[in-house]
A and B are shown apart, each in its own frame.
Chain A
Amino acid sequence: MTSTWQPSADIDILKKRAQLIADVRLFFAQRDVLEVETPILSQAAPTAPYLDSFYTDFSPLGSDKKQPYFLQTSPEFAMKRLLAAQSGSIYQIAPVFRNGESGRLHSPEFTMLEWYRPELTLFQLMDEVNDLVQQVFNLAPVLRFSYRGIFEFFCKFNVFTCSDDEIQSFVTKRIVGLPADLDMNRDGWLELIMSYVIEPRLAAMNMSVFIYDFPASQAQLAKVDKDGQGNDVAKRFELYAGGMELANGYDELLDADELRHRFHSDNQVRQQKNTKTIPVDEHLLAAMTAGIPQCSGVALGLDRLLMLALNKRNINDVRAFKFELS
């Protein structure tokens, strides 16, 4: 039995981790992107139905009052308030927390690199993500596929025109061992195909790809617009490399009413599945009402980037102490 005080990662790996973070800071310094720090504890949290925030209570000294505070799942909301205050381009390297998510590629506490670029379009931001990963280590050239394109390439169906039944029968044919009582909506099935069919194929072919123009129903906090074929698409991208989802970028939604609407419909889903509803971030809504500049933003998992750079299979191999030993 090895003793439990020891780090999960070799000291040599931690030196490389420090170097990677220094390289990232240099990259943004060269591009005049301002490093910021925002609160890790917040009175509001994202409402996304399958995202579970840790929370704690604040009790002012000499009082029995308890005020709930959430640990951030990403620094997104606070950073957008800075954008509304005319910060210009900003980045942050921040600890983030997601309850329940523990596995080879998931740690309940991990490190996020997140940045916002008011001057850049979504495609220019993809270029910048590519520049960053090329600069900090040599990743094979990153290819670009639309969501429609990657499904056509690997699955031979059109995600916008094919029926729910066709998607489901594809899943039944191609993915073995699914729970018999699995009941999901169209996006659930598509996301399953992405994880079980497309990601492994990309990994096997050693391909790194940006996937952009997601179905509008997977918009999260991105704008919705028409693609070249007239389909409603979410203006966002994901970067897949080494069989992992590495980054998630948006052409940021700027419409406060639309954001409030998405928060509420998320909370309705939470109610339906009997999970806690989340207080809506009124500060963010107020900032958006005041006006956030047109901007593109992206969140990138720094631990996963390091795994890829150092060819490590488990997220705990690149973090000083894994969650179980924290």
Chain B
Amino acid sequence: MANFSTNEFKSGLKFMLDGDPCSIIENELVKPGKGQAFNRVKFRNLKTGRVNEKTFKSGDKVEGADVMEVELEYSYTDGEFWYFMDAVTFEQHAADANAIEDCKKWLKEQYVYTVTQWNGSPLLVTAPNFVNLEVTETDPGLKGDTAGTGGKPATLETGAVVRVPLFMNVGDLLRIDTRSAEYVERAKK
């Protein structure tokens, strides 16, 4: 894998740090007073998902990480692994519990997810920004309340619990923003 110098740093660059693949979120040139320059880097450790900060002396080099993002369709789970399929080659990729932890409650068969692969194996699965999910459990709907004020919890088919307007019923299909875990609108079936 190629090496990258601080002058090539930019958001999205994948590099190795202490054995873990990381992705640059933000890179800032810092030039304190009349002193030497630094690159102050905010990055995500792609293995742990944690965001951290590190300072590099301008001119320092890092090793690139063999990280790729691919769009794969979720197939099924056997309880130990979650299987994602390449829609073109039909190749199956097995992701472990760590990789799907953040998007587990948004996993639905045949939806397409962004899978970050490191050295060819799934490291992190990211849900699309919006998913349509069916309500499986909630208090009965209140007919009169169409203004959407107030709200109540509803359990969705994937097990996720979100706040929904009072008029929603079991069986309704909802559009959910996975980034904020919030109800957006009723979706057409």
The B121-135 residues at the A interface (CB cut-off 8 A) are none
A144 at the interface (CB under 8 A from B): no
| A179 lies within 8 A of B36 (CB) | no
The A32-88 residues at the B interface (CB cut-off 8 A) are 48-51
Give the size range of B's interface with the partner: 20 to 34
What is the distance, in angstroms, from A291's C-beta to the closest C-beta of chain B? Answer: 27
Interface mask (A101-123 → B, CB under 8 Å = 1, otherwise 0):
11111100000000000000000
Q: A188-B36, A218-B34 are in contact. Are A104 and B55 (CB under 8 A)?
A: no
| A191 vs B37: C-alpha distance when bound (angstroms) | 11
| B53 lies within 8 A of A176 (CB) | yes
* B52 / chain A contacts, CB cutoff of 8 Å: 176-177
| B29 lies within 8 A of A102 (CB) | yes
Of chain B, the residue at the smallest CB distance from A102 is B29
Of chain A, the residue at the smallest CB distance from B36 is A50
The A153-205 residues at the B interface (CB cut-off 8 A) are 175-179, 182, 184, 187-188, 191-192, 194-196
A141 at the interface (CB under 8 A from B): no
| A194 lies within 8 A of B31 (CB) | no
A130 at the interface (CB under 8 A from B): no
A100 at the interface (CB under 8 A from B): yes
Q: A100-B37, A101-B37 are in contact. Are A177 and B32 (CB under 8 A)?
A: no
B54 at the interface (CB under 8 A from A): yes
| A188 lies within 8 A of B54 (CB) | no
What is the distance, in angstroms, from A216's C-beta to the closest C-beta of chain B? Answer: 14
Q: A177-B54, A179-B57 are in contact. Are A105 and B32 (CB under 8 A)?
A: no
| B29 lies within 8 A of A106 (CB) | yes
| A179 lies within 8 A of B60 (CB) | yes
A220 at the interface (CB under 8 A from B): yes
What is the distance, in angstroms, from A173's C-beta to the closest C-beta of chain B? Answer: 15
Q: A176-B53, A177-B54 are in contact. Are A101 and B34 (CB under 8 A)?
A: no
What is the distance, in angstroms, from B48's C-beta to the closest C-beta of chain A? Answer: 15
Interface mask (B29-41 → A, CB under 8 Å = 1, otherwise 0):
1111111110010
What is the distance, in angstroms, from B147's C-beta to the closest C-beta of chain A? Answer: 35
Q: A103-B28, A103-B29, A106-B29 are in contact. Are A177 and B35 (CB under 8 A)?
A: no
- Ranked nearest first, the 10 interchain pairs of A and B with the lowest CB-CB distance are A103-B29, A191-B32, A177-B54, A191-B33, A195-B32, A191-B35, A177-B53, A178-B55, A50-B36, A195-B30
Known: A177-B55, A184-B35. 19 other contacts (CB 8 A): A100-B58, A101-B31, A104-B29, A106-B29, A176-B53, A176-B54, A177-B53, A177-B54, A179-B55, A179-B56, A179-B57, A188-B36, A191-B32, A191-B33, A191-B34, A191-B35, A195-B30, A196-B30, A218-B34
